[in-house]
Amino acid sequence: MTASSGRRHGPSAESHNPHASEASAAASEESQESKKSEESEESEETEKSEKSEARKASPATKRSAASEPSRATRSSPAEDALIEIVLVALADPMRRRILNGLSSAGGGTATTLAEGLPVTRQAVVKHLAVLQQAGLVVGRKIGREVRYSVAPAPLEETAQWMRELASTWDGPLATVKALAEDPSR
């Protein structure tokens, strides 16, 4: 012990006490069990609430839910994955600019695309790699250069999915519009 602090240097007395570590472990287990119990109770309450809401749903809501095609009939997991990759690739504004540049020019190289953009050629190459991985562009090696062109198929599939998704909202939105325009309903 040091005279000034009244504490020993080195391991604490608690670390030598096997009963202290057992008590700590037991308290930890009890804490974990109570958390699991609380989570279980919350999930049960959520399920009850959802079931209650489903029972309270209006006939119009039930009709629109029933008329909606199931997820399996809308698209396959492979189509879902393609759509997700395309949307992620198009989320970046620079990649959209590069795709627009390729589309308007009918194709081009990373060098020619970089001339009109505020990024380096190397950055354009990285963006083109993402677009190519998503299937939005195709690169063909001609001599020492790689010439890129737009591949429209993934864009068309994604656009079709977006049209289908938008059409599922047409009915409910028309109902909301009618209610907003004629409050006496």
Choose among 126, 173, 131, 139: nearest CA to 155: 131
pLDDT digits (tens, 9 = 90+) for 161-173: 899 888 888 888 8
d(CA 90, CA 134): 9
The two three-digit tokens of residue 163, written as one number: 């049209």
What is the tens place of the pLDDT at every residue in 115-173? Answer: 989 999 999 999 999 999 999 999 999 999 999 999 999 999 999 989 988 888 888 88
CATH number of 77-154: 1.10.10.10
